């Protein structure tokens, strides 16, 4: 701590010590600076930013594709997979696909989607309510906080 001084005097002090004058907080009044090796300072900043990036988790949207005439065993497997995705903190997108004339009976597909919604109601909340998008019914669930 050398106290408050002019920038010229601070540069002279840094030059005497054969180091650099590093501006730490330019927004402060007066700006806060320190005397040190700029290469080392830059290296430490990069290390800190790498640690922050390593600790943050990216949020993914996992998709589960369904058919309107899904068997109970397949339903249970897809339900367990959706629970795993939600417990890992990811979003789950359910996509009910209709082929051919199946689209005329979209209420069957809506019933399957509703079964998923009810089965996962205790660990999830609805981000996107079930709706028709062309030949698909789409619903997105997220984790409850």
- Answer yes or no: do 139 and 74 share one domain: yes
Domain encompassing residue 29: 7-55
Helices 72-87 and 106-119: angle between axes, nearest 10 degrees: 50
1 found inside a domain? no
Token couple for 31: 């700006």
81 found inside a domain? yes
- Answer yes or no: do 139 and 84 share one domain: yes
- The pLDDT, as a whole number, for residue 28 is 86
The DSSP output letter for 104 is: G
- The pLDDT, as a whole number, for residue 142 is 92
Q: How many domains does the chain contain in total?
A: 2
- The pLDDT, as a whole number, for residue 1 is 74
- Which pLDDT tens digit goes with each residue over 100-140? 898 888 899 999 999 999 999 999 999 999 999 889 999 99
Question: Is the backbone of residue 109 left (phi > 0), alpha (psi -120 to 50) or beta?
Answer: alpha
Q: What is the CATH number of the domain that holds 12?
A: 3.10.20.80
2 found inside a domain? no
Indicate the pTM of the whole model: 0.61
- Answer yes or no: do 79 and 125 share one domain: yes
């Amino acid at each position: 701590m050398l106290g408050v001084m002019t920038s010229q005097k601070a540069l002279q002090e840094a030059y005497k010590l054969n180091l650099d004058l590093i501006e730490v907080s330019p927004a402060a009044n007066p700006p806060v600076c320190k005397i040190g090796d700029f290469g080392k300072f830059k290296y430490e900043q990069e290390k800190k930013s790498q640690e922050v990036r390593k600790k943050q988790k990216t949020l993914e949207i996992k998709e589960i594709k369904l058919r309107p005439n899904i068997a109970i065993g397949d339903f249970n497997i897809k339900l367990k997979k959706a629970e795993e995705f939600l417990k890992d903190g990811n979003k789950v997108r359910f996509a009910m696909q209709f082929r051919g004339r199946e689209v005329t009976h979209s209420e069957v597909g809506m019933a399957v989607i509703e079964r998923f919604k009810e089965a996962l109601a205790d660990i999830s909340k609805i981000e996107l309510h079930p709706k028709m998008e062309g030949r698909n019914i789409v619903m997105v669930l997220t984790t409850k906080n």
